[in-house]
Amino acid sequence: MKRQALLTFIVLIFIISGGIICYFQKQKEVQNRVEKVAKLVFENIVVKDYGKAIVEENEIYIPVELIRNYIDSDLELSDDKKRVYINISDKNLELEDKSLTKFVVENGVKINLLTKIEDNIVYIPGKLTSKIFNIDINYIETTKVVTVDRFTEEIKFGKIKEDTVLKLKNNKFSFTIDKLFKNEKVRVFKEYKDWYEVRNKVGHLGFVQRKYIDEFTKKISFNNKLNTKREDFDKSKKINITWEYVYERTPDIKNEDKIDGLDVVSPTWFKISKNGVVINNADINYVKEAHKKGYKIWGVVNNGFDPNITTNILNNEKLKNKVIAQIAFYASLYDLNGINIDFENIYYEDKSAFVKFVEDLTRILKKQNLIVSIDITVPGGSKRWSKVYDREKLAKIVDYIALMAYDEHWATSPKSGSVASIGWVERGIVKTLESVPKEKLLLGVPFYTRIWKETVDENGKIKVTSKAIPIKNVKKIIEENDAVVVWDSKAGQYFATYKKDSAVYKIWIEDAESIKLKLKLAHKYGLKGIASWRKGYEYEEIWEVIKMIKDDKKLL
């Protein structure tokens, strides 16, 4: 009997010991699970189905499905999932001006943003859209947890009375998730008989006994104003702007050195498409980095160079206002300093309608105190590419006009020649100044040139083709092909030629010397500054030359 009792006791000891060991193993598993899984928390829900948040230096990306399931069920994705569409007209937002807010809402604006796709999960920039969705997003670095909370007028909190623990479930024997210390503040979500469901400062969710908490309510003030009016732009000084070409994704300029003398960067971010949708490729990180470097940002809006889409927009008041409202909203959302209008290839019959569009757009953008500029071609005979611009009327509306003094010989030109010979550029300036005041005119200079290829067909006729290349690549091409280089005084450029595979190649070179001559023209005619197409095609010495526009004495 004693022996049986002893065996029973030993078995019980083993069972109890095993249970204790199992408990602590399970406890460790719970804590490990919290560390590995609870990366994304929406209020009192640990989000597991959509993946983790993506945390970058200036942005936190949130899964689109989280927003769609908990905040805005009307979100739409493009077929390729690269773009998300958000209806703004039903959001509680305020822009720089009350009348501007009303204009945007009344025109039923639906914006679109580029998404980020990783592991088949589609993400949306959270910080950028936090005011749109009326949410607060925070990243807790110590636990690598991202919390997402809706703003409400009142939020319940609790203050811990004395040291205690955060439990996985609302009972004393549940596993412990974390420790809670006296005077620590926790977010309170639900109340159970003797327990509160809470979230602590490091983003862990769990339960704490009621007796350990003093509950209180805090009123929250939500600032729904998207932006404020910009400070006045100093128009008394000469300026230097450059266009940043963006096809879809914007380059990262964080590690770029600041370009001395550069005032404005103008990325090609917005394109008008059919039905009045403005395709948006803007990047808030680019804006922030540019502002850090001291640049202003003028976002480019173009018409896709499609006359059919353009005429539809210009002659439909509803679509026109829809386009203008989208541009104004993006300017506010991305904290732009200005808008650059680049409409090309327009039906001549829309000449007056285009002036009216620019006038209406400028009136709205001035509510944000933005700078408005427009790009025009050198005066010429083409109705769609030159005569469509009523330069005199446009000059009275906008702040600056950029003269695109390049493509003298365009891509499909039947004859080889310079992109911007000095005589052609000067004639373009003189002709433009007949209708545009010099105080508003910027001289556009090319950071590209063309390699012309001339071949002779079976009939003895010369066939000409060309390829645009960055001017920073010209030197290498010349060296690789042992090209003959001479100065062309008439063009104001060096001219290179070489033969290869029964073809003759010609390059009228844009470089520091040719651009310096163009800057002298800007000085000669008292122009307001320089605009260059496009950033990234140049080499360092070019910026040293362009900076001279701000110190006229160095040009003499």
Percentage of residues of the chain with pLDDT beyond 90 = 89
For 247, the token pair is 């096809």
For 231, the token pair is 């400070």
Strand arrangement of the beta sheet that strand 484-488 belongs to: 462-470, 448-456, 503-509, 493-500, 484-488
Lowest-pLDDT range of 19-33, 50-64, 386-400, 487-501: 19-33
Kindly tell me the burial class for residue 354, based on how many C-beta atoms sit within 10 Å of its own C-beta (0-12, 13-18, 19 or more).
buried
Q: E-strand spans in 69-109?
A: 76-77, 83-87
Structure confidence by residue, pLDDT tens digits, 367-419: 999 999 999 999 999 999 999 999 999 999 999 999 999 999 999 999 999 99
For all residues of the chain together, what is the average pLDDT? 93
Is the C-alpha dihedral spanning 99, 101, 107, 113 positive or negative?
A: positive
Tell me the pairing of strands 400-404 and 441-446. parallel
State the pLDDT at residue 554. 59
Helices (H), 53-146: 64-70, 98-106, 126-133
The angle subtended at Cα 109 by Cα 108 and Cα 115, nearest 5°, is 145
Cis before 534? omega within 30: yes
- Cα–Cα distance measured from residue 273 to residue 253, given in angstroms and rounded to the nearest whole number: 28
Which residues fall within 8 angstroms of residue 16, CB to CB, at 6 or more apart? none
- Cα–Cα distance measured from residue 404 to residue 410, given in angstroms and rounded to the nearest whole number: 12
- Cα–Cα distance measured from residue 126 to residue 134, given in angstroms and rounded to the nearest whole number: 11
Strand arrangement of the beta sheet that strand 83-87 belongs to: 76-77, 83-87, 110-114
pLDDT-based confidence at residue 49 (cuts at 50, 70, 90)? confident
Contact call for residues 281 and 330 (beta carbons, < 8 A): no
- Cα–Cα distance measured from residue 22 to residue 303, given in angstroms and rounded to the nearest whole number: 68
- Cα–Cα distance measured from residue 391 to residue 62, given in angstroms and rounded to the nearest whole number: 46
Beta bridge partners of 85: 76, 112
Q: Which DSSP helix (H) or strand (E) runs through 5? A: helix 2-37
Section 293-303 average pLDDT? 98
| CATH, range 239-447+511-555 | 3.20.20.80
Structure confidence by residue, pLDDT tens digits, 77-116: 999 999 999 999 999 999 999 999 999 999 999 999 999 9
User: Does residue 19 surpass a pLDDT of 80?
Assistant: no
pLDDT-based confidence at residue 273 (cuts at 50, 70, 90)? very high
CA torsion, ordered 240, 370, 297, 250, to nearest 10 deg: -140
Which residues fall within 8 angstroms of residue 142, CB to CB, at 6 or more apart? 202
pLDDT-based confidence at residue 28 (cuts at 50, 70, 90)? very low
User: Does residue 343 surpass a pLDDT of 90?
Assistant: yes
Report the candidate in 252, 248, 167, 168 with the shortest Cα–Cα distance to residue 212. Answer: 167
pLDDT-based confidence at residue 281 (cuts at 50, 70, 90)? very high
pLDDT-based confidence at residue 310 (cuts at 50, 70, 90)? very high
- Cα–Cα distance measured from residue 311 to residue 350, given in angstroms and rounded to the nearest whole number: 7
State the pLDDT at residue 222. 85
For 162, the token pair is 């004395």
User: Does residue 556 surpass a pLDDT of 80?
Assistant: no
Produce one character per residue of 155-189: b if its CB has 16 or more CB atoms within 10 Å, e if not.
bbebebeeebbbbbebeeebbebbebeeeeebbbe
The residue type of 122 is V
Residue 198 — φ and ψ, nearest 5°?
-135, 170
Structure confidence by residue, pLDDT tens digits, 185-237: 999 999 999 999 999 999 999 999 999 999 999 988 889 999 999 999 999 99
Kindly tell me the burial class for residue 25, based on how many C-beta atoms sit within 10 Å of its own C-beta (0-12, 13-18, 19 or more).
exposed
Give 478-497 as a 3 state SS string.
Answer: HHHCCCEEEEECCCCEEEEE
CA torsion, ordered 115, 117, 121, 127, to nearest 10 deg: -40
* Three-state DSSP class for residue 14: helix
Structure confidence by residue, pLDDT tens digits, 433-486: 999 999 999 999 999 999 999 999 999 999 999 999 999 999 999 999 999 999
Residue ranges covered by each domain of the chain: 239-447+511-555
User: Does residue 55 surpass a pLDDT of 80?
Assistant: yes
- Cα–Cα distance measured from residue 246 to residue 235, given in angstroms and rounded to the nearest whole number: 27
